[in-house]
Amino acid sequence: MAAQPEEAAQTAGLKHPRLVSKNMTATEMKRNQGSDELPCLSNCALWKECFYEKVQQRSLNLQEKKVKMIQAQKAKEEKVKRREPCDWLCKEWFSDEKESLDTRTYLLDKLLPTLIPGVEKLLMQVERKNVLVPDKEPTKFDPITFLGEYLMRHNPQYDISTKPGPYLRGMKMVTEELKIEVADTAPERLARMKAEAKTKRKEREQVENMKSEQKEMRKEALAIQFKEWTVDISGRIPVALIQSALRSFLDVVASAPMDVREAIYDRKLEIVDTLEKKVNIDEFTEYVLSYTENFSNDMFQEILKHLRQCALDFQKAIRCDTWRQMFTDLFLDCDYGKDAPVAEAVKETAARKESFLSEHSGQFGQQTSSETRLQDKDLQDQSIGPAYSDRQDSQAEAGQEFELPWSGDLLTFDLSFKYSSYGERIPKEWICENIRFADLCPIMADIQNRCTSRVRSAFDENCLNLPQFVQLMETFVGQDISLPTVKNLIEFIKEEYKQTEESKIEQLEKVRRTSRLAQRKLLLEALFEKWDKNASGFLDLKEVDAVLSTFKEGMEKEALRKAKGHFSSRYPQSSRAEKLSPKAFQTFLELVASEFTGDEDEVIDNIVEFLTTSVERSWMECLHSLTRRKWLHNIQQAAETSGASMEPVYKAVFKALSQDAEAHGDNKQISAYIALLEENQLSPERGQILLHYVACTADDAPYVLNQMLYKDMKGVSFAAVEEGKPIHVPRVQLHGNIHFWNYDRPVEERRGSLLVLPLQDAHWRVFGILGLDTLRDQSEKTIFLTHEISFCQGVSLAFSKAYHHVCTLENVLQMTLTALDWLYPRVPSIHTVITYLLEPGKDQTCDYALRKMITTDNTGQKEIHTSAVLLLRKENLLRDYLFKCIDTSEVVRTSVCGEYHIAVPLRDLSRQALGLFDISIGHHQKLPPHERKDLQKMLKMAQAACCEILKIPSEETKPTYVLEAEHMNLRHAGILFHRFMLQDLRECVQKLNAESFAEIKSYEEPPALVHNIVKAVLLLFNPKWKGSEKIESWSQCVLNLDDNLIQEIYCFDPTASSVQVQGELLLDCIGGVPRAEVWKQGSVPAEYLYNWVHTCLSLMEMTKSLQNKKAPAFTSKV
């Protein structure tokens, strides 16, 4: 029975009363308002639940009773109206006369409803008593008294009104209408509000109808657009594909204002990382509408156009996926070894391509053999890849491509995950089931988990792995070739490709050697971590040497001595510091093994086994070590995913120190800060260098951040810098040479411990300090223990690696900006260039991301993206060419959304891609020859400069210095690009001779441009010749075009302090001259000289600007 009132209330359109728990906040009550759900009462006592149930039941009963009474009264009134219609004579009171409106309203509202029934009663009484009959005797009836008595008896304030008659009901309706006409009254305002509400309701209904019509029209348009997509056999397409199309639409409207771009989608695009989730036509329309329902008509037409283009791109992707699968099968057929998907590049590849092109000239058009050779060379020289040929297949051949329906899966989507870096992959069985090194197995497993995924392949001119081979073949055939032609090419390669038995054995041996080296590296890293129990980041060379001297009972001491000699020559800094980094430790053991007799791999295994048993670690020590290494790994990961910003690195460092102080330091409360060495230019009398505090914990920021510590101030920080060793002050109150930044701290509270650690680069040179203190800790035991100091040293080394990694990224970006400034005036056909940097995943299971760093438009204007703009593979299926470029470290060319793109990798020292240039050339299939040449030159110089930048923080390689500005500690990334450009031009000019200048000398009246170029070259060496006959007269100029000039050009350093040439002199000669005009002259020497003068001018201007700037971070010579 309890359910009946609830059902009745629901039928009447009622809502259940809401029950509010006393624990609910006001925000929750407001959020829950209007909802039909009752709050959960599980936390209330049983008696409260019973009480609320009874109150709820009673309120529902009363509500139902009231509703029924109101409904019965309304039904009764309707019945009376039908039986006795209103008397419309009362409408005579309703007129348009404004003067008497208030009076008539007052009479109808206050007087007449009582007076008219009284008059009616009076007339009835008069008629009954025959008062007006002339023949009757007059009665004593007084009408005034009767009317007065009636009015008193029926006073509206006290009288319960009787059933009104038809006239009164009509009068009431007229009264309500008149009240509406009276200005500034409650009825008038209410009527106005109702009218406005009615108007708005009509407008809203009209808008909703228009939206409904628009929605239906958009549904029809999307349904038509869906038919343009290539669907699987069930008529579906992947959701991830739709998301990729919607996400790439933001790039199409990149020119729109930022607020418009942010408001394009009402809700955030969800991530679907699988191709198995698919939608049909109805689900497609609903899905796209859910994101675009608030688009304007113009914007919706734009996205329809974009989806149409994406559908065409997807058709090409399916066709290319078919080809890629065929190329994969081809590779596996040619890889006879089957043990590893690595094949040696055939030296006759170019000749075989030429043979195939000559046999199929109808399909490949007019592409000559010389062009093919040039394209192959471009791939090797880090260029823009092979240009598209003008081939077009017949419609009959093109129609044979899609005889079979699409299977619904992209077969080569995860090709790089399956086959990249195959030889470097270490089987889990080798790690988990290695009985000989059982103690190291957990450490090796942890190292493997921390490593990033090995998706990227290193570029090798001689060898190709499977993804690289597939990408090379796809680049070779282009996008406009038919499937039968691809099949013919594959059959041709199968027939022509031959592999000797020796090459097979060499190939397999190379893979096994790569696998052994990867296993050795992992084994030695695990051994290092076992010895380095406190995660300090280095080992004591003396300790390792002492233990190794007991190997084989000391019989190999002579070999050990020789190995130490080789190690000292290879790592002089580590040898002098007597510290071994993980890489130096591995090299040292390999050198020791090379001096021992026997197989090197077996010797190393014996050494590792001996060193493993030489140290004992408890389970708790191992656990602490693993935990600390995770914290150190977070610091490096923060640097790799920071987008060239130091803020995440600082936070990761302070977090690691705080976590260790809490977990392993008896819950110490610490303050931490980082200071970097800088050259003291403001107050050199206070010392050559100073310490600039660039970061600290939050509580110390008001006192420490951005402070400068000079050498003439108190403190032990400079002692740590000069000695290159940590300094621990157990009790600062007793030291007497401690500088306190917080002057407000009372003297009696200046108690605690201080630890200062030098920050050292890979060559053990100090560039700053990391400081910790426990002055905020009020406990008695605040001294840093030995294991805490060791871990802090590990943090300082981790910060050093992270700091130099971020500095390297900054230098690469600065070099990129310089390269783009050089490129854009010379290659105007380029529309946009987007620079991406790679950000590795957290572990082996996570794929890398591409961070958009710099966007350059067709005018050369650059946008440096400070906020994170990340591209993930699973979110950008239609821009997978970017990830193919990173995976294979090869140039990739494709068309996306109707524009041609060239993706060029920027490689690190291991020849793996660390970033890329996404170059859009619009609707041009290829660049003009001179622009293509300049683009290749820029990419080559950018790659060389990038490698030089990466050598700076490396402990194995050293950068080279060519220009004087580089020796003056003006190390600037922009200089590197122009320095390599200058070196390349030097080599080109040195190859010139007298015969090369013969054409220029033969001019009697040379072109003005050629004359101006020669004048600029001569003015660079002899600025005093300005306006003289020696440069103004052509006959005098040509006398200087000899071998001496070539030698001077080769040795000239534009950054030298002795060079005093004003840039205006050179600009007067060649300023404003387009690169294309120089190319049209057809003179190679003039072109070289023109580029050389511009490069020298850029270096001079850059050196001058750097000398006026504040010097960067200083590095100690310790």
Per-residue pLDDT tens over the stretch 686-736: 888 999 999 999 999 999 999 999 999 988 999 999 999 999 999 988 888
**Confidence at residue 442, expressed as pLDDT on a 0 to 100 scale:** 85
353 Cβ contact list (under 8 Å, min separation 6): 372, 376, 476
What's at 10, amino acid-wise?
Q
Phi, psi of 498 (to 5 degrees): -130, 145
Helices marked H in 256-380: 258-262, 281-292, 297-334, 349-359, 361-364, 369-380
Q: Are 131 and 50 in contact (CB under 8 A)?
A: no
Please list the residues that pair with 834 across neighbouring strands.
855, 918
Quickly tell me which residue has 């290092």 as its tokens: 528
Residue 716 half-sphere exposure, CB side, CA atoms within 13 Å? 20
Alpha-carbon gap, residue 251 to 879, rounded angstroms: 11
Phi, psi of 1090 (to 5 degrees): -60, -50
- Two tokens at 1014? 């020669």
Helices marked H in 36-142: 46-83, 101-106, 112-128
Cα–Cα distances (Å) from 506 to 343, 464, 503, 511, in that order, read 10, 14, 5, 9
DSSP 726: -
Provide the Cα torsion 1003, 1008, 1012, 1015; round to 10°. Answer: 40
3-state helix, strand, coil in the chain (%, to 5): 55, 10, 35
Alpha-carbon gap, residue 788 to 94, rounded angstroms: 97
Phi/psi zone of residue 667: left (φ > 0), alpha (ψ -120 to 50 degrees), beta?
A: left
Which own/partner contact pairs does 354-359 have at CB distance under 8 Å and 24+ positions apart? 355/496, 356/489, 356/492, 359/492
Helices 186-226, 281-292: crossing angle, 10 deg rounding: 130
Alpha-carbon gap, residue 193 to 199, rounded angstroms: 10
Q: Are 586 and 525 in contact (CB under 8 A)?
A: yes
Cα–Cα distances (Å) from 224 to 218, 229, 522, in that order, read 10, 10, 56
Quickly tell me which residue has 């809502």 as its tokens: 15
What SS3 class is residue 620?
Answer: helix
pTM reported for the whole predicted model: 0.80
What's at 613, amino acid-wise?
T
Helices marked H in 405-535: 415-419, 428-432, 441-450, 466-477, 483-496, 501-531
Alpha-carbon gap, residue 973 to 958, rounded angstroms: 16
The gap from C-alpha 351 to its chain's centroid, in whole angstroms, comes to: 43
Please list the residues that pair with 278 across neighbouring strands.
238
Quickly tell me which residue has 């106005």 as its tokens: 192
827 Cβ contact list (under 8 Å, min separation 6): 927, 931, 934, 935
**Confidence at residue 1061, expressed as pLDDT on a 0 to 100 scale:** 76
Q: Are 409 and 394 in contact (CB under 8 A)?
A: no
Phi, psi of 859 (to 5 degrees): -95, -5
DSSP 109: I
Provide the Cα torsion 579, 584, 589, 592; round to 10°. Answer: -80
Alpha-carbon gap, residue 354 to 371, rounded angstroms: 10
pLDDT in tens, 284-305: 999 898 888 888 888 888 889 9
- Two tokens at 1044? 């001496």
- Two tokens at 894? 């494709």
DSSP string, 1100-1114: HHHHHHHHTSPP-B-
Residue ranges of the chain with per-residue pLDDT less than 70: 1-45, 86-96, 136, 138, 159-163, 254-267, 336-404, 420-433, 844, 955-956, 968-971, 1108-1118
Q: Are 423 and 518 in contact (CB under 8 A)?
A: yes
| Sheet of strand 766-773, all strands in order from the earlier edge strand to the far edge | 708-710, 689-696, 671-679, 766-773, 754-760, 727-729
Alpha-carbon gap, residue 479 to 470, rounded angstroms: 14
Alpha-carbon gap, residue 981 to 734, rounded angstroms: 59
The gap from C-alpha 221 to its chain's centroid, in whole angstroms, comes to: 33
Alpha-carbon gap, residue 365 to 367, rounded angstroms: 6
Q: How many CB atoms lie within 10 A of CB 1085?
A: 21
